[in-house]
């Protein structure tokens, strides 16, 4: 895919996420890995709803700015995910309401932030890890991501927001949307003793779709 097409896709998906209220103001960031090992990423303090393709930040394989505006302060977060998730071709980080709310609840299992509620959550996101709070842009978050050893494509940053990687930008965006909707379901059903997928149903999905889930289950 050409550089121009990738830039257009970042802006198109960013605008879609913004217009549907999935990330407010100038929050959130998107990156796409390039063939030379570098990547394109949204600039710092840029609204995803009003991105300019020509001003996206072009980083080299070492993470240094080559052209465009100054990149998002979350470069360490993106860098560590690319380093540990070999299949990652794109990363989306948002401040979506329900996922942020989920990250603040006391009962959340950091190894599996959501129970197996729907087949599509498992198919798109697998399981979601919850990391402790780090201030935005804190380089220490990179070590926390590396500590997950590439097992998770979907991660919640406590009191901050979700970050999801995918093989393509479209896959990352769709997985992010599935995570947000599942977090919304969890909040709607909290305290109502809902029926989750059984271990047998999860095993069937894993076998049928070749899912690679971390070896943790939600109690």
CB 77 within 8 A of CB 160: no
So what's the pLDDT on residue 171? 98
Spot the catalytic one: 120, 134, 186, 196.
120
So what's the pLDDT on residue 216? 57
Cβ contacts of 21 within 8 Å, gap of 6 or more: 97
Q: For residue 92, which of 3, 23, 182 has the smallest C-alpha distance?
A: 23
Q: How far apart are CA 204 and CA 211, in angstroms?
A: 10
So what's the pLDDT on residue 217? 47
- The pLDDT confidence band at residue 177, using thresholds 50, 70 and 90, is very high
Pairing of strands 65-67, 154-157: unpaired
Q: Residues 193-218: pLDDT tens digits?
A: 999 999 999 999 999 999 989 875 44
Q: What is the CATH number of domain 3-209?
A: 3.40.225.10
Q: What's the chain's length in residues? A: 219
Q: What are phi and psi of 209, to 5 degrees?
A: -115, 10
Q: How far apart are CA 182 and CA 186, in angstroms?
A: 6
Q: For residue 40, which of 80, 5, 15 has the smallest C-alpha distance?
A: 5
> pLDDT at residue 48 above 60?
yes
So what's the pLDDT on residue 62? 85
So what's the pLDDT on residue 63? 85
Pairing of strands 65-67, 161-166: unpaired
pLDDT above 70: percentage of residues in the chain: 98
What average pLDDT does this structure show over 99-122?
Answer: 97
Domain chopping of the chain, boundaries: 3-209
Q: How far apart are CA 98 and CA 95, in angstroms?
A: 9
Catalytic annotation on 133? no
> pLDDT at residue 88 above 80?
yes
Cα angle for residues 69, 73, 75 (degrees, 5° grid): 90
What global pTM score does this model have?
Answer: 0.95
CB 213 within 8 A of CB 131: no
Q: Residues 122-152: pLDDT tens digits?
A: 999 999 999 999 999 899 999 999 999 999 9
């Amino acid at each position: 895919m050409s550089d121009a097409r990738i830039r257009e896709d970042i802006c198109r998906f960013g605008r879609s996420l913004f217009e549907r209220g999935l990330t407010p103001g100038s929050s959130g960031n998107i990156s796409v890995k390039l063939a030379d090992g570098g990547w394109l990423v949204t600039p710092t303090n840029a609204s995803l709803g009003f991105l300019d393709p020509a001003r996206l930040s072009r980083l080299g394989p070492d993470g240094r700015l080559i052209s465009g505006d100054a990149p998002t302060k979350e470069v360490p977060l993106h860098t560590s995910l690319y380093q540990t998730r070999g299949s990652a071709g794109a990363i989306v980080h948002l401040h979506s309401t329900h996922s942020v709310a989920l990250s603040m609840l006391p009962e959340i299992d950091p190894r599996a932030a959501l129970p197996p509620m729907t087949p599509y959550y498992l198919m798109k996101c697998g399981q979601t890890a919850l990391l402790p709070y780090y201030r935005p842009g804190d380089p220490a978050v990179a070590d926390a991501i590396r500590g997950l050893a590439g097992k998770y494509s979907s991660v919640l940053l406590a009191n901050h927001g979700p970050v999801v990687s995918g093989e393509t930008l479209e896959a990352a965006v769709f997985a992010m949307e599935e995570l947000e909707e599942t977090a919304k379901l969890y909040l709607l059903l909290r305290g109502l003793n809902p029926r989750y997928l059984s271990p047998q149903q999860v095993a069937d999905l894993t076998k049928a779709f070749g899912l690679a889930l971390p070896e943790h289950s939600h109690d």
